[in-house]
Amino acid sequence: MTDLIATAKAHTNIALVKYWGKRDETLILPWTDSLSLTLNEFYTTTKVTFSETLEHDNFYIDRILVDQKNNQKLTNFMNVAREKIGLTYFANVESFNCVPISAGLASSSSAFAALAGAIYEASGVDYTLNDVSKLARRGSGSATRSVFGGLAEWKKGSTDDDSYAQPIQETVDFGIEMIAILLDTTKKKVSSRLGMQTTVDTSPFFNEWVKVVEKDMQIMHQAIEKKDINLIGEIAESNAMRMHSLTLSASPSFTYFNADSLLAMQEVEKLRTNGVKCFYTMDAGPNVKVIYDRKNRETILQELSKVFGRDRLVVSQPGPGIEFIK
């Protein structure tokens, strides 16, 4: 048999209404729906080569071979994939990241979306993007949304077969943009997976969070339909801060904020006080993302550059869905 080879490229997404908490750790089924914006500046490109000559999977991240002792999550994912596509061959996986890993910049969303897409494309089986989204979810919950461009929603579902993302507006036709403030791109101390589990198990406010997200999703859909960037930003900021309040109420409590995160939030609030509409959001990491209308981009960049330096600010427009590279 000849080798089965495919390469896929997927972009990260930043949740505007967050996913935080799983009700099934194995299938990665969330407690709530979520909604995100895919970004054009951060992405992962992954090549998968299935070969009957291999005796195990090999994983290369940015040309570095992942030690067999540290690749159990990836091996488990490949086993799930093989079951879904009906292949028994092992694979070489070569992944290249244009995004810092484990720094709260959603690197896992692009990584597992690209990997899932390359697996299906290489396998030769008939598939849909919903199939790719379901498989990507088994590696990282947020990856289910990175299969699609622009604005996408992850429906929580209740089984492995009905929990996947769907596009809301893949080609965004209004001026929403996002600036990532790169405050700390080192690996975070508390992984998203551990953070979520601790929160679900110990926060006395988690049940209220589920109700909050349901309301936020309804209003966010209305805001997108109206193309109301300010309302989108307000909901995203409020939703993010409520998510992060859960980590402070967990036992043991923890936070992804650092001093620069707080400074960035203050700078965004200062811009708003001065009449420049912009809003912040954060995922599981210290790096702050700023949501705004592109007409305000230069003003925001100018003010944030005074504090953080221009080289730490990355401007992103809405990005595309998964792409296959021949």
Q: What is the CATH number of the domain that holds 49?
A: 3.30.230.10
Task: Take residue 183 and report the two structure tokens written for it.
Answer: 């405050």
| Measured distance CA(182)–CA(27) in Å, rounded | 32
pLDDT (tens digit per residue) in 208-254: 999 999 999 999 999 999 999 999 999 999 999 999 999 999 999 99
pLDDT (tens digit per residue) in 307-321: 999 999 999 999 999
Are 11 and 159 found together in one domain?
yes
Q: Is residue 322 part of a domain?
A: no
- The alpha-helical segments, DSSP class H, found in the chain are 72-85, 107-123, 129-137, 143-146, 192-202, 206-226, 229-249, 259-273, 297-308
Count how many domains the chain has. Answer: 2
Q: Is residue 60 part of a domain?
A: yes
Are 123 and 81 found together in one domain?
yes
Distance of CA 98 to the CA centre of its chain: 14
Are 191 and 295 found together in one domain?
yes
Are 165 and 31 found together in one domain?
yes
Which of 173, 190, 208 is the C-terminal boundary of a domain? Answer: 173
Residue 281 · residue 232 · CB < 8 Å: no
Q: Is residue 119 part of a domain?
A: yes
- Stretch 120-128: mean pLDDT: 97
Q: What is the CATH number of the domain that holds 207?
A: 3.30.70.890
- Could you list the residue range(s) of the whole structural domain that residue 69 is in? 4-173
Are 230 and 147 found together in one domain?
no
| Measured distance CA(174)–CA(218) in Å, rounded | 20
Are 232 and 244 found together in one domain?
yes
Are 182 and 169 found together in one domain?
no
∠ CA(81), CA(85), CA(86), 5° rounding? 110
pLDDT (tens digit per residue) in 41-81: 999 999 999 999 999 999 999 999 998 777 888 999 999 99
| Measured distance CA(172)–CA(167) in Å, rounded | 11
Q: Identify the band that residue 283 occupies on the pLDDT scale cut at 50, 70 and 90.
A: very high
β-sheet bridge partners, residue 179: 290, 315
Are 194 and 283 found together in one domain?
yes
Percent of all residues in the chain with a pLDDT value above 70, rounded to a whole number: 97
In this prediction, residue 105 carries a pLDDT of 62
Q: Is residue 257 part of a domain?
A: yes
Which of 144, 173, 202 is the C-terminal boundary of a domain? Answer: 173
pLDDT (tens digit per residue) in 92-109: 999 999 876 555 566 899
Which of 122, 145, 173 is the C-terminal boundary of a domain? Answer: 173
In this prediction, residue 107 carries a pLDDT of 83
∠ CA(28), CA(110), CA(143), 5° rounding? 20
Task: Take residue 56 and report the two structure tokens written for it.
Answer: 């195990």
Are 276 and 311 found together in one domain?
yes
Q: Phi first, then psi: what are they for 246, rounded to 5°? A: -65, -40
Task: Take residue 116 and report the two structure tokens written for it.
Answer: 């899932």
Are 239 and 128 found together in one domain?
no
Query: Which run of H or of E encompasses 320?
Result: none
Q: Is residue 266 part of a domain?
A: yes
Q: Is residue 326 part of a domain?
A: no
In Å, what is the CA distance from 236 to each residue of 18, 33, 79, 213, 229?
Answer: 8, 14, 36, 11, 10
| Measured distance CA(203)–CA(197) in Å, rounded | 10
Query: To which residue do tokens 């300010």 refer?
Result: 230
Task: Take residue 275 and report the two structure tokens written for it.
Answer: 């009449």
Q: Is residue 49 part of a domain?
A: yes
Strands 90-98 and 58-61 come out as: parallel
Are 226 and 273 found together in one domain?
yes
| Measured distance CA(25)–CA(265) in Å, rounded | 32
Q: What is the pTM for the complete model shown?
A: 0.95
pLDDT (tens digit per residue) in 255-270: 999 999 999 999 999 9
| Measured distance CA(72)–CA(76) in Å, rounded | 6
Query: Which run of H or of E encompasses 44?
Result: strand 34-51
Are 74 and 192 found together in one domain?
no
Q: How many Cβ atoms sit within 10 Å of the Cβ of residue 101? A: 16
Q: How many Cβ atoms sit within 10 Å of the Cβ of residue 179? A: 22
